[in-house]
Amino acid sequence: MKPSKESIVTKIWNEEPEPDNPFAARACYCSGFDVYGDLLGKISWIQYLWLLIRLEPPEPAQARMLEALAVGLANPGPREPSVHAAMCAGVGGSTRASALIAALSVGAGNLGGARDVFAAMGNWADCGTDLAAWRERIRNPPVDERDDVWPSFEHPPGFDPNGAGCPTPVRQLLNHLTVLDPGPVLPWLQQNREVLQHEADAPLAFSGVAAAALHALGFTPEQGEMLFLLLRLPGAAAHALEQKMNWAKFPFFGNGLRLTDDPGPSSPDHE
């Protein structure tokens, strides 16, 4: 047996081994805090989530704001594509994990998904609360000459190209988070929302509110993308469970597809 030389380098997590098993931890520390000997019973799930990503405890106001955002994002509702995808797993009796995998894959996209949040947070990092910079960014979004696996954006990140007015729940979440935000970001967004919407020719979306809030809380775009993926899963889970094997009552869109290049019935030509 070769001695182990490689190791996992991390600032997040440390462990001490149990005396009877070098593969079991006797104590687990998250950024220095004893998770099972100290944190358990003292902190909320949201505080722990913050600690894991930021490595320092949140201020009470920060935790309240992230908690409020988490409630606002938890269920996009069964019409939303990522939840619809999770329900597709539920109706066919697919594995529970596949429902969440479906919700993640579909909810990852740049139209209202986590990639939208990532891009919008990049805009916040670059433009801050400078209206002229936002106008310029929306009019002339940055262009990368290299190709990428992600489809190109077809709308200003954080705005809904299929929207009309800004939906009431989006404004309610923005208003609530604005009250909780001790900094300038959300109050500025609330004040300039209509100007920005006019510039974007689209209303602010949940992804735009989430991006602003996560930026205000000091998360990087990468952290924001990950949190958005994570925080939208509860609704997907609940709706997937509810639809379990409910195929007879789930929309199949039987008459909802029209084929434009149907060659018509033909005899097999492979012989």
Partner 1 sequence: MTPAHRVPIMSEDKGPEMLARCEDNWVTAMGAWFPEGRVVLRGKDVLNDLGHRPWMEYFIYGINGQEDSRFARFVEGVWALTTSYPDPRLWNNRVAALAGTTRSTGVLALAAGIAVSEASLYGLRPIRGALDFLYRADRKLADGAILEDVVWEELRTYRNVFGYGRPITSADERVAPLMKFADSLGMGKGKFIQLAFEVEKILKQSRLKYQMNIAGAVAGLVADEGRTPDDHYYMAALSFVAGMMPCYIDSLGKPGGSLFPLRVTRIDYKGAPPRRWGAA
Residues that bind partner 1 (CB under 8 A): 1-6, 20-24, 77-79, 81-82, 84-85, 88-89, 91-95, 97-99, 101-102, 104-113, 115, 149-151, 153-155, 161-162, 245, 247-248, 251-254, 256-257, 268
For the chain, the helix, strand and coil percentages under 3-state DSSP, each to the nearest 5: 50, 5, 40
Closest to partner 1 by CB, 58 vs 203, is: 203
Q: Is 271 helix (H, G, I), strand (E, B) or coil?
A: coil
- Minimum gap (Å) between residue 65 Cβ and partner 1: 20
Q: Among all chains, which residue has been given the structure tokens 């409630």?
A: 71
Q: Strands (DSSP E) along the chain, which ranges?
A: 13-18, 21-30, 33-34
- Minimum gap (Å) between residue 29 Cβ and partner 1: 22
Closest to partner 1 by CB, 132 vs 149, is: 149
Q: Which of 210, 248, 247, 250 is nearest to 78 (CA)?
A: 250
| Angle value at C-alpha 130, between 138 and 65, nearest 5 degrees | 95
Closest to partner 1 by CB, 58 vs 90, is: 90
Alpha carbon 157 to its chain centroid, in Å, reads: 13
Closest to partner 1 by CB, 98 vs 220, is: 98
CA atoms of 48 and 36, how far apart (whole Å)? 12
- Number of helices (H), then strands (E), in the chain: 11, 3
Bridge partner residues of 17 (DSSP): 25
CA atoms of 136 and 128, how far apart (whole Å)? 13
- Minimum gap (Å) between residue 96 Cβ and partner 1: 11
CA atoms of 192 and 196, how far apart (whole Å)? 6
- Minimum gap (Å) between residue 183 Cβ and partner 1: 28
Closest to partner 1 by CB, 104 vs 166, is: 104
Closest to partner 1 by CB, 106 vs 213, is: 106
Closest to partner 1 by CB, 98 vs 223, is: 98
Closest to partner 1 by CB, 92 vs 128, is: 92
- Minimum gap (Å) between residue 269 Cβ and partner 1: 12
CA atoms of 204 and 179, how far apart (whole Å)? 18
Written as six digits, the tokens of 67 are 């908690």
- Minimum gap (Å) between residue 216 Cβ and partner 1: 25
| Angle value at C-alpha 41, between 39 and 46, nearest 5 degrees | 70
- Minimum gap (Å) between residue 132 Cβ and partner 1: 28
- Minimum gap (Å) between residue 240 Cβ and partner 1: 10
